[in-house]
Structure 1
């Protein structure tokens, strides 16, 4: 496979203020956060703020590494970040298909990585397998992990405003509360 791929950064908006969010795609609190992002950009104004998502795979979400790799793989395809967003939306909208019950039991214990990829492709409409198999795709995944570690991020969702962690922000906040931090 050629090394001419590029993982599109998961950044929306073009404003001077930076809102970075660390998400674990199968985490219920990250899903709640993900569903608020378009509304946040609309309210804050895409010319006022940039939203950058960092994927934060967590070991207690046992299928997380497969799902995370698939999202980064999607960002290498036509459409880049928008294609990755479609895959994230598929996970968010069908979360139970990508997690274990109580982090350790249930029918998903019998699935294989290929089953997870097939589900992601079916729900998102994105053909992921070829991109998932990019041999050095892990370099893009490592950028996400390294950046999180450098900033002391250990769980998701975690929010950073202009480069500083904001421990007062949460997935349960109304979008208007997030917008106030950028006015």
Structure 2
């Protein structure tokens, strides 16, 4: 619990199996979006008794609202049913990524968008109130923890996958869930 007794963002973990797969995803990266769409079907295919699936939000500076949107996802994680609210927020950003990212990383309609407008836009899509949890110190700490975990493991791009605590470059966003499952054997 944080020192100011604010809600802690929930860990983004599903399943409870002996094999652990960690996905490092950037909210607006098209490759991360493609991978994220397969995560729950992957878990269902492998089974919650066989797999522990953990998602880390991995901000990347060339996606210019990346840090901000990472914070929004972790703010959603601080709400009741936080894990599922964070997942909903991540998926919503991916489903509407042109409204949350810059064209070519440096241009487009989002050039005039303010952070408050982004929060309001995301609140409309998710039907979640994010403005208050966005400002929580526990969200700041969660952002730092996600970043430290990525750096500690030498992760620089998304999506990156760790299998049982080690980076595994065999996992690619363009593969099927069956191909991912085969990599667990």
Q: How does 1:40-79 map to 2 (within 5 A)?
A: 40-79=42-81
Deviations 1:97-144 (A, max 9, x none): 011000000010100000110111111111101100113421110000
Instruction: Return the TM-score normalized by structure 1.
Output: 0.97
Q: Which residue of 2 aligns with 1:81?
A: 83
* Structure 2 contact 26–32 (Cα < 8 Å) conserved: yes
Q: Which residue of 2 aligns with 1:8?
A: 10
Q: Which runs of 4+ in 1 moved over 2 A?
A: 1-4
> Of the candidates 124, 129, 132, which is equivalent to residue 131 of structure 2?
129
Partner-residue secondary structure (3-state), 1:65? helix
Instruction: Return the TM-score normalized by structure 2.
Output: 0.96
Distance 1:89 1:24 in 2: 11
Q: Which residue of 2 aligns with 1:17?
A: 19
Q: Unpaired runs of 5+ in structure 1? A: none
Deviations 1:55-94 (A, max 9, x none): 1100000011111000001101011100111111110110
Displacement of 1:170 in angstroms is 0.7
> Of the candidates 169, 172, 175, which is equivalent to residue 171 of structure 2?
169
Q: Unpaired runs of 5+ in structure 2? A: none
Tell me how large the CA RMSD over aligned residues is: 1.2
* Structure 1 contact 49–182 (Cα < 8 Å) conserved: no
* Structure 2 contact 9–82 (Cα < 8 Å) conserved: yes
Count of aligned positions: 183
Partner-residue secondary structure (3-state), 2:45? helix
Q: Which residue of 1 aligns with 2:34?
A: 32
